[in-house]
């Protein structure tokens, strides 16, 4: 949208409104120079300056008008880097609020360039134009799905959404660390399932217009444009209310209210800021929970495409035994996937030396990369590569995304690095990932999944 607005302005400059103005001014300058030779020196200088400025605008405008859409799009994405220092000055939660509002209003660039062909893939029968997704927590209330997908993410996960609206923990509750990290103890602040369902309902109408992401054989115009600013894939991440005593009932309510809008569903049992939540990762608890949620989902009326896949998001702070239990449940109950991982309660070096590291909450960003990638590898081995895994934690470059894929991830997510790097990071990661695959001789991304575990 920003692109088309800018181009429209330049078109107007060139064709209609402004183009005539400098001509008039030039004519005026010329004729007045002949008929009124006694103009003061300062006025002449002023006219010269105005003429030069208008000339520059015309030349610049003409140049922009003639460049192709892809180049212009690249400029817009690069230009967003100029805003990053301003955001860094703001309180993290205020900066986040601003970013979500801007994305909701379409005040961010829209990706018009097709993704590199070697990073597209199909998972759960759905086409992903690239494997880079936005992790849960950024758009908790599904306010900016279209804008965020338009940035070029292969998929966007909203939530965590709880049945009843919650304020979350007292502020401040998000802290920046200079190591490219964050600590947060938000505690599932959100508007609740009903508000999110209403919002998705409005958007779902739009999403429904384009069935291409669900129907790979479609050859409509929209299908051809998939992977640019297409509708993309939407994940819905479900949480539980802080005071709720029946966790399963909370997730089931989430399924009943939101699953019709989701391309995939996530049971989040790994946020460290809701007391008792991580206990649900235990073998027996997880088994009971997944069975109830699967039953709730399967009881609903689904069209020929069937119900949305169900995934579980786990913590990076699990023992080998915990991981074995989760893998056993995932395989036995035919879970559709696992997201590895959420934030960590540990404080790996070099963060541990920072006084901010004493803040209570989950650590995300670069210092989480090794921990979450190691867990990912272990889980890939334990599940024998049979279940799609989404690698999440500390991804801030195409090289990081590639490492996650080699460690067993079919798809990759990020949050913190996007917060620091802004929109320009997304095309950069995709281009770097495509280069990594090409460098190592992988024609398709799927060939690289788990190669470091074999
Ligand atoms: C401020 C903040 C809020 C988050 N909220 C959620 C959430 O509601 N649900 C969830 O599953 N994960 C949440 N996460 C975790 C992220 O989805 C992700 O798993 C984690 O940050 C690791 O990825 P990263 O290092 O790329 O940020 C949140 C993370 C941050 C920084």
Give the pLDDT confidence of 111-125 residue by residue, as tens digits.
999 999 999 999 999
Give the pLDDT confidence of 171-222 residue by residue, as tens digits.
999 999 999 999 999 999 999 999 999 999 988 655 544 444 444 444 444 3
Ligand 1 atom at minimal distance to the Cα of residue 135: 17
Q: Atom 13 (ligand 1): residue with closest C-alpha?
A: 137
Give the pLDDT confidence of 64-73 residue by residue, as tens digits.
666 788 999 9
Give the pLDDT confidence of 214-250 residue by residue, as tens digits.
444 444 443 333 333 346 899 999 999 999 999 999 9
Give the pLDDT confidence of 296-305 residue by residue, as tens digits.
999 999 988 8
So what's the pLDDT on residue 39?
65
So what's the pLDDT on residue 219?
41
Q: Atom 28 (ligand 1): residue with closest C-alpha?
A: 137
So what's the pLDDT on residue 8?
53
So what's the pLDDT on residue 133?
98
**Does residue 242 line the site of ligand 1, with CB under 6 A?**
no
Task: Say if CB 359 and CB 183 are below 8 A apart.
Answer: yes
Higher pLDDT, 15 or 255: 255
Higher pLDDT, 228 or 96: 96
For 376, the token pair is 């990912």
Judged by average pLDDT, the poorest of 2-11, 74-83, 147-156, 391-400 is 2-11
Question: What average pLDDT does the segment 155-160 reach?
Answer: 97
Ligand 1 atom at minimal distance to the Cα of residue 313: 11
**Does residue 140 line the site of ligand 1, with CB under 6 A?**
yes
pLDDT for 33 beyond 60: no
Ligand 1 atom at minimal distance to the Cα of residue 266: 11
Mean pLDDT score of the chain, rounded to an integer? 87
DSSP string covering 385-398: T-S-EEEESS--SH
Domains in the chain with CATH codes? 2-67 (no CATH), 115-453 (3.20.20.70)
Report the residue among 135, 313, 394 best suited for mutation to probe ligand 1: largest number of ligand atoms under 8 A from its CB. Answer: 135
Question: What average pLDDT does the segment 89-99 reach?
Answer: 97
Binned at pLDDT 50, 70 and 90, residue 57 comes out as: confident
pLDDT for 294 beyond 80: yes
Judged by average pLDDT, the poorest of 54-58, 278-282, 408-412 is 54-58
Report the residue among 342, 401, 429 best suited for mutation to probe ligand 1: largest number of ligand atoms under 8 A from its CB. Answer: 342
Residue with tokens 């007391």: 275
Task: Say if CB 156 and CB 235 are below 8 A apart.
Answer: yes
So what's the pLDDT on residue 386?
97
CA 352–ligand 1 middle distance (angstroms): 20
Binned at pLDDT 50, 70 and 90, residue 55 comes out as: confident
So what's the pLDDT on residue 38?
67
Report the residue among 134, 136, 138, 392 best suited for mutation to probe ligand 1: largest number of ligand atoms under 8 A from its CB. Answer: 136
For 454, the token pair is 């074999």
- Burial of 197-217, coded b for 16+ CB within 10 Å and e otherwise, reads bebbeebbeebeebebbbeee
pLDDT for 259 beyond 70: yes
**pTM of the full structure:** 0.85
Query: Helix, strand, coil proportions of the chain in percent (round to 5)?
Result: 50, 15, 35
So what's the pLDDT on residue 13?
43
Percent of the chain's residues with pLDDT above 70: 84
So what's the pLDDT on residue 47?
86
pLDDT for 127 beyond 60: yes
Note if 271 is an active site residue. Answer: yes
Ligand 1 atom at minimal distance to the Cα of residue 342: 19
Helices and strands: H and E segment counts in the chain: 16, 13
Closest among 271, 313, 281, 90 to 168, alpha carbons compared: 271
**Does residue 182 line the site of ligand 1, with CB under 6 A?**
yes
């Amino acid at each position: 949208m920003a692109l088309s607005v800018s181009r429209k302005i330049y078109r107007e400059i060139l064709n209609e409104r402004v183009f005539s103005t400098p001509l008039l001014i030039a004519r005026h300058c010329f004729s007045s120079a002949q008929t009124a030779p006694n103009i003061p020196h300062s006025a002449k200088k002023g006219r010269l300056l105005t003429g030069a400025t208008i000339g520059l605008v015309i030349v610049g405008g003409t140049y922009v008008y003639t460049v192709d859409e892809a180049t212009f799009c690249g400029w817009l994405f690069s230009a967003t880097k100029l805003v990053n220092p301003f955001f860094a000055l703001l309180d993290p939660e205020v900066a986040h609020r601003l970013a979500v509002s801007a994305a909701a209003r379409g005040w961010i660039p829209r990706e018009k360039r097709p993704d590199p062909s070697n990073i597209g893939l199909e998972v759960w029968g759905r086409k992903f134009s690239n494997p880079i997704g936005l992790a849960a927590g950024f758009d908790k209330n599904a306010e900016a799905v279209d804008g965020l997908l338009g940035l070029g993410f292969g998929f966007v996960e909203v939530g965590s959404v709880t049945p009843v609206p919650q304020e979350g923990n007292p502020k401040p509750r998000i802290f920046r660390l200079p190591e490219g990290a964050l600590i947060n103890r938000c505690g599932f602040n959100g508007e609740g399932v009903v508000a999110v369902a209403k919002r998705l309902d409005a958007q779902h109408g739009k999403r429904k217009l384009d069935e291409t992401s669900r129907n790979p054989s479609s050859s409509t115009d929209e299908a051809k444009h998939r992977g640019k600013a297409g509708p993309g894939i939407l994940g819905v991440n479900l949480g539980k209310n802080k005071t709720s005593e029946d966790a399963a009932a909370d997730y089931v309510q989430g399924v009943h209210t939101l699953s019709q809008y989701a391309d995939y569903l996530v049971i989040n049992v790994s946020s460290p800021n809701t007391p008792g939540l991580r206990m649900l990762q235990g073998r027996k608890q997880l088994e009971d929970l997944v069975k109830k949620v699967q039953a709730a989902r399967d009881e609903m009326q689904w069209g020929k495409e069937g119900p949305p896949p169900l995934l579980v998001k786990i913590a990076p702070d699990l023992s080998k035994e915990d991981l074995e239990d989760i893998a056993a449940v995932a395989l036995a109950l035919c879970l559709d996937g696992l997201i590895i991982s959420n934030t960590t309660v540990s404080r790996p070096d070099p963060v541990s030396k920072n006084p901010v590291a004493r803040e209570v909450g989950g650590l995300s960003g670069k210092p989480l990369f090794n921990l979450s990638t190691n867990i990912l590898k272990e889980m890939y081995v334990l599940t024998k590569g049979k279940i799609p895994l989404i690698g999440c934690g500390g991804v801030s470059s195409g090289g990081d995304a590639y490492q996650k894929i080699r460690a067993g991830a079919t798809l990759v997510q990020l949050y913190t690095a996007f917060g620091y790097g802004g929109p320009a990071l997304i095309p950069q990661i995709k281009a770097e990932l495509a280069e990594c695959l090409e460098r190592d001789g992988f024609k398709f991304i799927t060939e690289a999944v788990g190669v470091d575990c074999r």
